[in-house]
């Protein structure tokens, strides 16, 4: 079902403040920013090898990322796993008793289809399923 870790999502207060650490100090390749209105976030992607980091900045105080930052402060928000068939992955997880935040896929950054598994079903880790747009 899972093919690889797609990315780690990191909640930040401001992309402009967080980017220099990842890009300049750690030397990750900056792949650009994108606003995802459906999620009320602006994201920046960085790559190192096959791994990616997704920095998430809220664009609204109602954003789930804004609420996460208010409660927890900046830090790791989620782990995203690549899947080939997100609908099948959701169906399998639900059949196995997992609690899904998203029962149907929705649009994420870079045109990917995404769905989240509730942390109560994944040992406290917010888990994202991600089917890349090819």
The structural domains of the chain, with segments of one domain joined by +, span 2-131
- What is the CATH T-level fold of the domain 2-131, as seen in this structure? 2,3-Dihydroxybiphenyl 1,2-Dioxygenase; domain 1 (3.10.180)
* pTM for this entry: 0.92
Going by their DSSP bridges, the two strands 127-131 and 75-83 should be labelled as parallel
Query: Who's near 24: CB < 8 A, 6+ residues apart?
Result: none
Euclidean distance between CA atoms 66 and 117, whole angstroms: 19
33 with 15: CB under 8 angstroms? yes
| pLDDT tens sequence across 77-127 | 999 999 999 999 999 999 999 999 999 999 998 889 999 999 999 999 999
């Amino acid at each position: 079902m899972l093919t690889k870790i797609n990315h780690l999502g990191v909640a930040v207060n401001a992309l402009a403040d967080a980017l220099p650490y990842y890009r300049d100090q750690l030397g990750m390749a900056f792949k650009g920013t994108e606003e995802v209105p459906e999620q009320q976030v602006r994201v920046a992607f960085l790559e190192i090898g096959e791994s990616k980091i997704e920095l998430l900045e809220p664009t609204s105080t109602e954003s789930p990322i804004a609420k996460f930052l208010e409660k927890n402060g900046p830090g790791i928000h989620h782990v995203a796993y690549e899947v080939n068939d997100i609908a099948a992955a959701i169906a399998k997880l639900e059949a196995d008793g997992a609690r899904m935040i998203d029962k149907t896929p929705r649009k994420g950054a870079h045109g990917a289809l995404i769905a989240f598994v509730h942390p109560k079903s994944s040992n406290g880790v917010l888990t994202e399923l991600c089917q890349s747009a090819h």
